[in-house]
Structure 1
Amino acid sequence: MDEQRGIVLVVDDDPRVARVYAEQLRRQHTVRVAYSGADALESLDTDVDVVLLDRRMPDQTGDEVLEQIRARGLTCQVAMVTAVEPDFDIIEMDFDEYLYKPVTGDQLLSTVDHLLRRATYDTALQEFFSVAAKRAALESEKPLSVLQESDEFATLTARFERLREELDESLHQLDDEEAFELALSDQF
């Protein structure tokens, strides 16, 4: 596809990783690259649609950068792309997707495309996908016994179920392909 569909900010303190991600995305999107949290915040403006953010960086962590993004009131979609195994601390983080490294070019492109689409949804549907991403990240990395003992995970699951019930009324926003994709996903 020749059309540039979104502006993506890739943030990773490893220049090789950042360049690989950028090259994989440039075929379909306009890409900015930052190698530190400070550079990311300097590069960030209202034109950025999606941020791919590493959690573990030396000057500012991705968690701190995420807090600054939200404190500025920016509405860009944020995917944490990291080698940090998800733990219960992610429940309170205001990101939209969590990718555990290593990730493929196809995963990056698919994630960016999904996030661009999600940005057009109403707030409740965006919240649902964010909660679903956190739940899926924890389920993929934590043993069931640990999840069952966690009050935080129980609260997250209750929130997920409440949002899912509320969204039954909002499904009319989705086109046929998105509704089909959602129905087949394990998130709904």
Structure 2
Amino acid sequence: MQAFVTGDTNPCRPAADAKSNKIFWVLRGCSGMTEAAKTILIVDDEADLAESYALRLDDHYETKTATSGGEALTKLGPDVDLVLLDRRMPGMAGDDVIKRIDDWELEFQVILVSAIDPDTDIIDLPFDGYLTKSVSKDELLDAVEQVFLKQRYEELVAEYNAAAETYDVLREAYSRSELEGNEEFAELEDRMAELEAEFDETIEKLDDSSVTNLLA
């Protein structure tokens, strides 16, 4: 398993009491994640097209729709994982919505959808994927899957780094024989092995361009 670098705060906080020769640590955020159904907010001023996207995604995700930028902002909430956002809409355009999301520091994945090929005007837009209309069902599903896989990759990196830091601290504080038989330390080792396996599986599912961007 390669070494990872991340700026995230370590959610695993180890502490060793050398005097009593006991090990105490809190593994906050280092347990396995339970995957709930992802929710996608589909935003397009053409209601029929928004519903069409929803039908293509309904077998795999929870969906809800909005037909304007203003309506989209009212439907954004903690239940939304990804916004499928039309760039060109009357009133508040998709670009304005994505800037508002960024200004509010909201944590959503965003895929832009447009009939216009991407140009340099997208440089300052924070987004995670770009689709050019018309979009087939396979293209839509693949784009959404790739965005969620990249998100999961980053979560795995953060969790593995946190667990590895805890592991290193404990190995420095105690001998291997002192750690052997400790149930919590064994669970930590098992979790690190699970993370390595899931990391490899995630990399296998990512397309080449996604892997290149993540490792750059």
TM-score normalised by structure 1 residue count: 0.66
* Separation in 2, partners of 1:70, 1:50: 14
**Residue 58 of structure 2: which of 18, 26, 30 is its match?**
26
Once residues 105 and 73 of structure 2 are traced to their aligned partners in structure 1, the CA distance between those partners, rounded to angstroms, is: 13
Unaligned 5+ runs, structure 1: 126-171
2:90 matched to which residue of 1? Answer: 58
Say if 2:130 is the partner of 1:98: yes
Shift of 1:40: 0.4
Q: Does the 8 Å contact 2:149/2:202 carry over to 1?
A: no
1:16 counterpart = 2:48: yes
Matches of residues 11-160 of structure 1 in structure 2 within 5 Å? 11-122=43-154
How far apart are 1:178 and its partner, in Å? 2.8
User: Relative to total residues, which structure has the larger helix share, 1 or 2?
Assistant: 1
% of aligned pairs identical? 39
Tell me the equivalent position of 1:176: 200
Q: Per residue, is there more strand in 1 or in 2?
A: 2
Cα deviation digits, residues 41-92 of structure 1 (max 9, x gap): 0111121001000000001110000011111211110000111221101111
Give the number of the structure with larger relative contact order, counting CA–CA contacts within 8 Å between residues 6 or more apart: 2
Distance 1:107 1:19 in 2: 16
CA distance in 2, matches of 1:176, 1:28: 23
TM normalised by structure 2 equals: 0.58
Secondary structure of the structure 2 residue equivalent to 1:120 = helix
Q: How many residues align?
A: 138
**RMSD (Å), alpha carbons:** 2.3
